[in-house]
Structure formats: structure tokens, C-alpha cells
């Protein structure tokens, strides 16, 4: 895959650890925030995350290994084009498909949450029994919002039309979305249900299939931890709570790909960008380095 020299490698890796042919993980930046309304800037997140990753330690204390040794390639990514969220989803699909077909782990850096639809479509073609684990403050289940059926507010509604979705960390939803959930006989794991003892974990795992795609909207974190998002909501999760869930999922299910979305770098301190980069590295480790 050709690279645009304006995009640095995740972690600043050099050959052979960043070579596409041998890498087990492939980072795909998606600089798009066309349907965000209040606090925009997620289009700048992929570059910011990659720049912050230069300062991560290769060795991970929790996993006891240097995660980068699995090989991590960074593509030149997907740039925004005119035509709306549905067209962008198609571009993301075409970027992710050869990665997952080649047996590699797609690591999609948003950008806004609407990009998830295209990534899931691509992964689902290789793993037809796929389920999606959504970590998010919002349900994102509107059928349409302001004339758009593929934007941020509707992305999980579209994804749920493809495969099962398990929602964790929710603490904001519209009446329309709640009525949809009742009609579908589904119930998210709300943020208020998550406890340090992890009693909710079995419920999450029971709803997931063997093959799991993980989508992480960074507003799942409490704003005290992650204020740099488009739509922050109080009452969110802490760092260790999120990692505890993700590691447990990786131990008993197969993570087939993931995305990290909705970071707005200019809306918070630099620590927020570093957190996002750390989370990406952790997820690669959980998926490929013995989570």
C-alpha cells in the first residue's frame, strides 16, 4: 500500500516493523467530521493520535510485552470527499476490505463515528457471524437525523441492520431511540450499571458472538477523563473500567477489528490525545499480543 509522506507511522515505527507485508495490524486514518454539529474537529484526530503515539513506551506493563513487535503498518488513510456520510462510508469500506481480506487487523482512526458503518461492512464479509461491541455515551440509533440516514446520530441504527450490536456505557438517548430499543427487545448496558466488581461483564459477553468488531466513541469516558470530544456527557467510565472490559472481551472472544472515534484534539488538553493513542496501542495488544 502506498503511503502519503504527510502521514507518519504510528509509534514512529521504521522498517521492518512498519512493513505492510509482515504487519499484523494496519492503521487506517480517516479525517472526516462532516456530520458533527456542536464541537467539530475530529477530522484532525488521526494525525494528532499518530503524532502522540511517538511518545508511547513500546513495552506494556499490563501485557508484559512490546506490543509493536506484531508489526503495525500505517496507510495514507481516507480523506474527506463531497457527497456526505454515506459516500464516506463507502470509501472506508474500500480501504478496510483489502486489510481484513489479507488477514490483518484493521485499526481505524476517526474522524467522526459515521465511519464505523463502512468498516463493519468490510469486516462482516470476512466474518459473517460478526457482532459489534459499541462503547459510547449515546445510542446513535436514530433512523434519520436532519435528512441524513448515515450520519453520526444514525450510525449504529445502520450497523444494527447488518449484525448484532452490544452497547455499553450509554447515558444519553432520544425517545425515538428508546422506542426502537423496546421494539427490538434490546437494552444497552447503561453507564450506571457498570461497577468495579465487573458484575456486568458476563451479560456483555453472553450477547457477543465469537467474532467481535469494537467501536469506541471516546465520549464513553467521563468528561473529567476525556473532555476533548464532540458531545461530552457526564457520568461516564474511567480508564481502568474501559480497559477491564476490553481485555476481558479479548480473552474470550476474537477481536477482528476496531475503531477509535470522535476525538476533537483542540477541545481538551494534550493528555486527551495521548489517552487516545494509548488506547489504540492497548487495543492492538489485546487483539494480537495476548490480551
Q: How far, in Å, CA of 102 to CA of 154, rounded?
A: 30
128-141: average pLDDT: 97
> Would you say residue 193 lies in a domain?
yes
> Would you say residue 207 lies in a domain?
yes
pTM of the model: 0.95
270-276: average pLDDT: 97
What percentage of the chain carries pLDDT values higher than 70? 93
Residue 199 has pLDDT above 60, yes or no: yes
Can you give the residue range of the structural domain that contains 179? 10-288
Residue 38 has pLDDT above 80, yes or no: no
> Would you say residue 1 lies in a domain?
no
Could you tell me if 13 and 72 are in contact, meaning their C-beta atoms sit under 8 angstroms apart? yes
> Would you say residue 2 lies in a domain?
no
Q: How far, in Å, CA of 38 to CA of 69, rounded?
A: 39
Residue 111 has pLDDT above 90, yes or no: no
Q: What is the pLDDT of residues 53-68, one digit of tens each?
A: 999 999 999 999 999 9
Query: Who contacts 91 (Cβ-Cβ below 8 Å, separation ≥6)?
Result: 78, 81, 118
Q: Could you tell me what percentage of the chain is helix, strand and coil, using 3-state DSSP and rounding each to the nearest 5?
A: 40, 20, 40
Q: What is the pLDDT of residues 135-189, one digit of tens each?
A: 999 999 999 887 788 888 899 999 999 999 999 999 999 999 999 999 999 999 9
Could you tell me if 114 and 43 are in contact, meaning their C-beta atoms sit under 8 angstroms apart? no
Closest CA to 235 of 245, 252, 221, 247: 221
> Would you say residue 269 lies in a domain?
yes
Q: What is the mean pLDDT of the chain?
A: 92
27-41: average pLDDT: 79
**pLDDT at position 7, please?**
66
Residue 291 has pLDDT above 60, yes or no: no
H helix intervals, the chain: 45-53, 84-101, 116-126, 155-160, 175-183, 201-207, 239-252, 270-288
The pairing of strands 59-60 and 65-66 is antiparallel
**What grid cell was written down for 174?**
432520544
Could you tell me if 122 and 97 are in contact, meaning their C-beta atoms sit under 8 angstroms apart? yes
203-216: average pLDDT: 97
Residue 81 has pLDDT above 80, yes or no: no
CA 255 to chain centre: 12
For the chain, the domain total comes to 1
**What grid cell was written down for 194?**
457498570
Could you tell me if 116 and 133 are in contact, meaning their C-beta atoms sit under 8 angstroms apart? no
**pLDDT at position 2, please?**
35
CA 240 to chain centre: 17
Q: How far, in Å, CA of 89 to CA of 117, rounded?
A: 6
**pLDDT at position 37, please?**
63
Residue 3 has pLDDT above 50, yes or no: no
Q: What is the pLDDT of residues 82-95, one digit of tens each?
A: 668 889 999 999 99
- Extract the runs of DSSP E, i.e. beta strands, from 123-225: 131-135, 165-170, 189-190, 211-217
> Would you say residue 130 lies in a domain?
yes
**Which CATH number goes with the domain that contains 171?**
3.40.800.10
> Would you say residue 5 lies in a domain?
no
DSSP 55: T
Buried b (16+ CB within 10 A) or exposed e, 194-215: beeeeeebeebbebbbebbbbb
Amino acid at each position: 500500500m502506498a503511503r502519503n509522506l504527510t502521514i507518519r507511522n504510528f509509534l514512529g515505527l521504521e522498517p521492518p516493523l512498519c512493513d505492510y507485508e509482515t504487519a499484523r495490524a494496519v492503521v487506517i486514518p480517516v479525517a472526516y467530521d462532516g456530520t458533527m454539529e456542536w464541537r467539530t474537529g475530529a477530522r484532525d484526530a488521526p494525525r494528532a493520535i499518530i503524532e502522540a503515539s511517538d511518545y508511547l513506551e513500546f513495552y506494556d506493563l499490563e501485557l508484559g510485552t512490546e506490543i509493536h513487535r506484531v508489526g503495525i503498518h500505517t496507510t495514507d488513510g481516507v480523506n474527506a470527499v463531497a457527497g456526505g456520510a454515506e459516500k464516506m462510508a463507502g470509501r472506508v469500506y474500500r480501504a478496510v476490505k483489502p486489510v481484513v481480506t489479507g488477514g490483518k487487523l484493521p485499526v481505524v482512526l476517526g474522524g467522526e463515528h459515521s465511519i464505523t458503518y463502512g468498516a463493519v461492512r468490510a469486516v462482516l464479509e470476512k466474518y459473517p457471524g460478526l457482532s459489534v461491541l459499541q462503547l459510547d455515551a449515546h445510542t446513535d440509533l436514530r433512523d434519520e437525523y436532519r435528512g441524513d440516514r448515515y450520519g453520526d446520530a444514525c450510525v449504529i441504527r445502520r450497523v444494527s441492520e447488518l449484525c448484532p450490536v452490544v452497547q455499553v456505557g450509554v447515558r444519553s438517548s432520544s425517545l425515538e431511540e428508546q422506542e426502537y430499543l423496546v421494539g427490538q427487545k434490546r437494552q444497552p448496558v447503561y453507564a450506571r450499571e457498570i461497577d468495579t466488581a465487573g458484575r456486568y461483564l458476563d451479560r456483555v459477553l453472553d450477547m457477543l458472538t465469537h467474532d467481535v468488531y469494537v467501536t469506541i466513541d471516546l465520549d464513553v469516558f467521563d468528561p473529567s477523563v476525556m473532555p476533548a470530544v464532540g458531545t461530552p456527557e457526564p457520568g461516564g467510565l474511567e480508564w481502568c473500567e474501559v480497559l477491564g472490559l476490553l481485555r476481558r472481551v479479548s480473552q474470550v472472544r476474537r477481536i477482528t477489528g476496531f475503531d477509535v472515534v470522535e476525538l476533537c484534539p483542540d477541545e481538551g488538553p494534550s493528555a486527551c490525545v495521548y489517552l487516545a493513542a494509548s488506547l489504540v496501542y492497548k487495543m492492538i495488544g489485546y487483539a494480537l499480543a495476548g490480551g
